[in-house]
Structure 1
Amino acid sequence: MPQIALPHRRPGRALSAAFASIGLVASALTVTSCSAGAGPDTPVGPSLAASGPAHTDVLFVGAHPDDEFPSLATFGQWGERQRPLSTGVVTITRGEGGGNAQGEQEGPELGMIRETEERRAVGRAGIRNVFYLDKPDFWYTLSAPLTAKVWNKPPRPSADTLSGLVRLIRATTPRKVVTMDPRPFKQHGGHQEAGRLAIEAFRLAGDEKAFPEQITKERYRPWTPSQLLAQNGGFTTGSVGAECARKQEKDERTGLPVIGYWTGTRSGRQNKTWAQIERDAARDYVTQGFGSLPATVDTPADKLPCEWFTVLADRGKPVSRPVREQSGLRPLYAEFRDWARGAGMPWLANDAQPDYPANPSTVVPEVDKAPDVDGVAGPGEYPGPELTLQQWEGAKCRDKSDCSATARFSRHGDDLYVMIRVTDDIKGYALDAAKDCKRHWRTDSVEIDLDPQGRSDDTSTTFKAGILPFTAHGGGPCAERDGDNRQGPAKNTAPGMTVASVVTDDPYTGYSVEAKIPLADLPAPVDPDRLTANVLLYDSDSQDRTGRTRLAWSPYGSAQADPYVWGTLRLPGYVPPPGRPALAPVIPQDAARSARSPASRDQAERTGVRADGRGPFPP
């Protein structure tokens, strides 16, 4: 599998190369004769819209297939106005790095399946055109800078993805651009980066000095949309029913206006609420486990909520608000603040860094004899404190018999030992250890996360092991690494690691997992005073390869992907061997290609614009 090795540490991207190269100042915005003069919600019909088979009135920019579905009720309503607004979608990747609740496909093969799901889903809202930028999707990260590095792998320029998005805006001439929230906390790095790119492209597409070859050689014209909106899924007022769409709201952190569209509105063409149509669309994403959602939305119409959007720009210009500086920013948030300043919207960084709680801490005792890795805590093997895992995400445990877990650590020489005991009442799906020991969060599993020096800003410089306590055909446990410095079966990526489990039966009441992790398998020498860790439990309670409940030792935010929240493991007396190197991250680069997608090729033939905005594909 082609992969990219990234540097161990890298400077944050405070400003895209495109901004720097054309010398845009933070407050500047070029509005060309092509820009729209419609107000925030002015219907755009044939008399205002540009023409051409690729034109769309609204362009949504997301990172993965399914990123658009929480907004389909809005896009569908816009398409049924008296003067309808057509919508197109830009999806930067095909989600090759995501899970698969349907089968064992992964990589480009999974990406093609997810394209089919997306085209079916958006078609329910009348959307025909989906443009893919063919960028590689990889594991779940909270880092936009890491995502940008992967999407713009050398020898491609650092603004390669941005260039493609600017070209698509010029090719499709939208009046509205809708994207994802670019703010960093508890947000997929791909979602953040999609939002950043949409903000930058919104500004640059109307400037003839930005990517000038698109104008001089490819014959596109500068184009500045009128309005820029960002999904605001975390916004809620408590208001439901038709009234929520009539309220004048504002985002609590930025002060920007927030507008809502009621999901209880009925489609005149389909005679269903848009909430129901959106549910139908969500269920098209079978690989993502959404097929297990109830088929019918039975919430009374007057209890249905709105979909919310933050207004970032209107009439071609940013909506400005007062800036509140935060002190004591951690590197990931300082990088976002610098980016927001360079993008001309510094207020987006208002209160972006949350008030992190104190990190937990424990001492890992050294034992004279190495524990037997057999799934049983023998006498004296784990004399340290018992750590209780707490609710993190998903359905709340009914009681301790439904889901609960504890963990203990010990050390012998250069090896770390972990014992995790899980109480559970329903056994999840048994994956095939030989073919499908990966993406452990789809069923019952535990995860052990380690940051060897306690300084990581994302998980690319950490060790993350997922352990399945049981597998298909009566198989025992299996272990893999995911979302970290190396990925794949533990036998290849952590060759010194051993695991064992004991699973109760008749009746099933849970399991225990024991693991030996050589500190030599970690991606850097361990600092005995700064090593941080998290232990997580994934509880499925289903046979459809989807999760239900998540617990963690340190349960704040995105507990599996945010090293800032992990707890400290102190290793008294431990001295790492000299000369142990720090390893550069290795990240998969396989991506599905539009040139190999019949649907994308047909769309290019119909619109004259292929995935990256260029002309039709060659024969």
Structure 2
Amino acid sequence: MDVDLMFIGAHPDDDTGVSATFARYTLDQGYKATVITLTGGEGGGNATGRETGRALGLIREEEERRSLAMLGIDSPHFLGLNDFYFTLSAEETEKKWGGQAFVCDVVRLVRLRRPEIIVTMWPGPGTHGQHQMAARAATLAYNYAGNAQYCPELAKEGIAPFSPLKLYYYPPNAETATIAVPTDDISRSARIRYADLKNVAQYNYRTQGWDNSNSLPAKSANPETFLLVASRVPTPEKETSLLDGVFVSTPTSPAGLRLEVQPVSYEIGTGQANDVRVTFTNTSRTPLEAAQLGLNAPKGWQVSGKPTSRTIAPGETLTATFKVTAPADAEAERTPLNVTYSARQAGQSISGRSVTYVRPLPAVVASFTPTFDIAGYQAFARETGTDWVIGAQATRLPLVVGQTTPIKVRVTNRSKAPASGKVELTLPAGLSVSEMPGYTLKPGESQDLTVNVQVAAAALPAGRQSALLPVSVKTGNFEDAANAYLLPSLTIPRLTTAPAIDGDLSDWAKSAVGQIGPADLWWRTKPENEADASAAFKLAYDDQFLYAGLNVKDELVACNIAPDDIKAQLRSDAIGVTVDPTGESRDTSTTLMAAAFPCTTAGFSARGFRDADAKQGVMEDTAPGMQVASRQVAGGYDIEFRIPWAAMPAKPQAGDIIGLNLVMYDGDTKDARVGANISQSGLAWAAFSWGGKQALPYLWPRVTLGQ
């Protein structure tokens, strides 16, 4: 039952990201691979529609089987977890999936199938919440599937522990990858390029919108990139295959020998000795003579604890604990420590290496307090020893334009002496601080400081209503970076006379106004000009409803959605209105995300619905009392929304601050096929890109309900 490679993902089509690589290994190199998909069967969700339950889940399982069969993989596993609406929250996913019991289901399959190599997705914020949890389950399985004390209930099933040898993530970007597997050469089994085979396999996923004839042949053949996160075998400095060190020998090291390295802590103090534990196991059938371990650190670092050489019998393990000390002036950045072994096997010299990372920190450090999702990932990474990976995960700071926003900075004294001083903020133009608080710390003490940051409208780039700008906080030579998300704000009036929802904006004189233009791009291709895609909007409310009206400039209004196919606004011209009625939501489960197509194949009459929140579907079913109306006008269209507070998870009161974003989708395909995804551009009042969805409520604009 053993397999060589295992991919662990959340959805049936997630394996498409590694399908060319898996085809290379399974079809043409004779290795065995399998896939674990956490969703499917009992619950199905759809990127081009709403959640539809068991029937869709079963269809997607069959799509997965057909796709994988083309790659030489005939043993997928489906855990049957609910594939619910789109979310960017790992925390919401864990709650929907009933806690972390599903992790032991993954561990069970890892122990049963015994993969040498696990490939999974990115576990941190910035991607689909279900992807994050699939990757975290894969990481836990890599770490603990070999520990009989982990998921102890599995012992009753007679399943023996098993430790995989390598763990890979999809990196957030190709620049952080450690290996790139080419896809532009020809599969000798399929007799087409691996990139084309990947697209053919993807074509099976009809329920996810992959059945696009325009995808064949592949427009490009980019390498598939992976980040080596953890390894229990020696690896070459530059990998050329996921199999290196496991089934493929490096130039100097036989395949399969075990070499593991783990620092006691990723973050270490400068001038302080820190333990790095190394184990080397002889998995061969012959003794290894004069075996010795070493550790190489950067120039100026101190290393002690090198053991004497000795013979290691087959199955025997050599261990060593090195003491590593970073100099007092070491940079506070991720630093590689290279561990080596050398020995003689049957008279031949062999050697290998592995790498770990540490980050030296000075006596006093200051860092921004992260948002809950970043903090949750950081805690997970520390637990699993993968915290060296999170350097690409900057803290998020939501700041409101035109207002003062308090942010938290934690200062920690890591030394054995008292410390005092002030932190220094580096801010872009338009952001300012009236006064920086000071700190006084005992040895080992931490203190939370509140810094009030003012954001002027001048901080926004020309034409934009929102912005993402870098900020940093510094103590001494230590600096912590963050991303400041500048959010627009507006106070909207309380109406005594409601506008008629008829597509005519002439009765909106008492509303608050704003605009969205080509510079407010968050999705795909920037429009050519305001005539191509832009909108002037109006907002107001009363005791029963929230009102939104938009005059949309669009030179080509697409009406290719059928009246009975009202879902997934990103497919064509559409407007979205996302509302967080409490202003404190952490995910979309406590929001209402309304949308409307301005027209359908039946003519110019708006059709409204909810999408990507906890109650998806046409408005008549999911938001009783909601109304939409549209009217074609010169240069585009007008569209109106009346959204009932009663349909929302909570009802705000006058004076409350809510989250509210307006999103515009534009598709300029003339005579588009009915139902086709023609999305070309996405604009938004707060224009931050998250995989095609506006699903982070704490980064929506702030709207005050006027008295």
Q: State the TM bucket, normalised to the shorter chain.
A: 0.7 to 0.9
Corresponding residue number in structure 2 for 1:23 = none
Amino acid at match of 1:122: L
Corresponding residue number in structure 2 for 1:75 = 22
| Contact 2:44–2:51 (CA under 8 A) maintained in structure 1 | no
Corresponding residue number in structure 1 for 2:291 = none
The answer on 1:96 being equivalent to 2:60 is: no
Amino acid at match of 2:658: L
Corresponding residue number in structure 1 for 2:125 = 184
Amino acid at match of 1:277: L
In the TM superposition, 1:101-112 aligns within 5 A as 106-112=52-58
Corresponding residue number in structure 2 for 1:568 = 702
| Contact 1:501–1:514 (CA under 8 A) maintained in structure 2 | yes
TM (norm. structure 1) is 0.73
Deviation at residue 474 of structure 1 after TM alignment: 4.0
Deviation at residue 545 of structure 1 after TM alignment: 3.1
| Contact 2:499–2:507 (CA under 8 A) maintained in structure 1 | no
What is the SS of the residue equivalent to 2:663? strand
Corresponding residue number in structure 1 for 2:70 = 124
The answer on 1:362 being equivalent to 2:310 is: no
Corresponding residue number in structure 2 for 1:598 = none
**Distance in 2 of aligned mates of 1:118 and 1:485:** 26
What is the SS of the residue equivalent to 2:174? coil
Amino acid at match of 1:315: R
Corresponding residue number in structure 2 for 1:552 = 684
Larger CA Rg, structure 1 vs 2 = 2
The answer on 1:307 being equivalent to 2:224 is: yes
* Percentage identity across paired residues of the two chains: 31
Corresponding residue number in structure 2 for 1:292 = 212
Output one character per residue of 1:398-433: Cα deviation in whole Å (capped at 9) or x when no partner. 333433333211234443211022233444454444
Aligned with residue 334 of structure 1, among 353, 370, 375: 375
What is the SS of the residue equivalent to 1:399? coil
**Distance in 1 of aligned mates of 2:174 and 2:211:** 26
Amino acid at match of 1:98: N
Corresponding residue number in structure 1 for 2:80 = 134
The answer on 1:174 being equivalent to 2:118 is: no
- Highest relative contact order (Cα 8 Å, sep 6+), 1 or 2? 1
Corresponding residue number in structure 1 for 2:96 = 150
Output one character per residue of 1:100-158: Cα deviation in whole Å (capped at 9) or x when no partner. 48xx9933222222222222222222111111001110110011111111122xxxxx3
| Contact 2:51–2:83 (CA under 8 A) maintained in structure 1 | no
| Contact 2:500–2:507 (CA under 8 A) maintained in structure 1 | no
Amino acid at match of 2:643: I
In the TM superposition, 1:310-329 aligns within 5 A as 310-315=227-232, 320-323=356-359, 326-329=367-370
Output one character per residue of 1:470-507: Cα deviation in whole Å (capped at 9) or x when no partner. 23434732222222243333234322322211135xxx
Deviation at residue 293 of structure 1 after TM alignment: 5.4
Amino acid at match of 2:6: L
What is the SS of the residue equivalent to 2:6? strand
Deviation at residue 554 of structure 1 after TM alignment: 0.6
**Distance in 2 of aligned mates of 1:469 and 1:113:** 31
In the TM superposition, 1:87-486 aligns within 5 A as 87-94=33-40, 96-100=44-48, 106-152=52-98, 158-185=99-126, 187-215=127-155, 217-232=156-171, 234-237=172-175, 251=176, 258-292=178-212, 294-297=214-217, 304-315=221-232, 320-323=356-359, 326-352=367-393, 353-354=395-396, 355-389=483-517, 390-428=520-558, 430-433=560-563, 435-474=564-603, 476-486=605-615
The answer on 1:62 being equivalent to 2:9 is: yes
What is the SS of the residue equivalent to 1:120? helix
Distance change >3 Å, CA 99–CA 106, structure 1 → 2: farther
| Contact 2:28–2:188 (CA under 8 A) maintained in structure 1 | no
The answer on 1:524 being equivalent to 2:650 is: yes
| Contact 2:580–2:659 (CA under 8 A) maintained in structure 1 | yes
- For structure 1, the 5+ residue unaligned runs are 1-51, 153-157, 238-250, 252-256, 574-619
| Contact 2:45–2:51 (CA under 8 A) maintained in structure 1 | no
| Contact 1:421–1:513 (CA under 8 A) maintained in structure 2 | yes
Amino acid at match of 2:522: W
Amino acid at match of 1:230: Y
**Distance in 2 of aligned mates of 1:351 and 1:564:** 21
Corresponding residue number in structure 2 for 1:49 = none
| Contact 1:367–1:381 (CA under 8 A) maintained in structure 2 | no
| Contact 1:227–1:315 (CA under 8 A) maintained in structure 2 | yes
Deviation at residue 362 of structure 1 after TM alignment: 1.7
Deviation at residue 204 of structure 1 after TM alignment: 1.9
Paired residues in the alignment total 484
Aligned with residue 622 of structure 2, among 480, 486, 493: 493
Deviates more, 1:305-314 or 1:121-130: 121-130
Amino acid at match of 1:539: D
**Distance in 2 of aligned mates of 1:136 and 1:368:** 44
Deviation at residue 372 of structure 1 after TM alignment: 1.4
Distance change >3 Å, CA 486–CA 291, structure 1 → 2: closer
Output one character per residue of 1:504-537: Cα deviation in whole Å (capped at 9) or x when no partner. 5xxx953221012233433223263421110112
| Contact 2:516–2:535 (CA under 8 A) maintained in structure 1 | yes
- For structure 2, the 5+ residue unaligned runs are 234-259, 263-354, 397-482
Corresponding residue number in structure 1 for 2:639 = 513
Deviation at residue 267 of structure 1 after TM alignment: 0.9
TM (norm. structure 2) is 0.64
**Distance in 2 of aligned mates of 1:356 and 1:114:** 39
What is the SS of the residue equivalent to 2:132? helix
**Distance in 1 of aligned mates of 2:561 and 2:218:** 33
Distance change >3 Å, CA 443–CA 165, structure 1 → 2: same
Amino acid at match of 1:63: A
Deviates more, 1:522-531 or 1:121-130: 522-531
**Distance in 2 of aligned mates of 1:168 and 1:326:** 40
Distance change >3 Å, CA 380–CA 535, structure 1 → 2: closer
What is the SS of the residue equivalent to 2:18? helix
Amino acid at match of 2:21: T
**Distance in 2 of aligned mates of 1:351 and 1:230:** 13
Distance change >3 Å, CA 485–CA 274, structure 1 → 2: closer
Deviation at residue 380 of structure 1 after TM alignment: 4.8
**Distance in 2 of aligned mates of 1:112 and 1:176:** 28
Distance change >3 Å, CA 279–CA 451, structure 1 → 2: same
The answer on 1:535 being equivalent to 2:628 is: no
**Distance in 2 of aligned mates of 1:472 and 1:539:** 16
Amino acid at match of 1:322: V
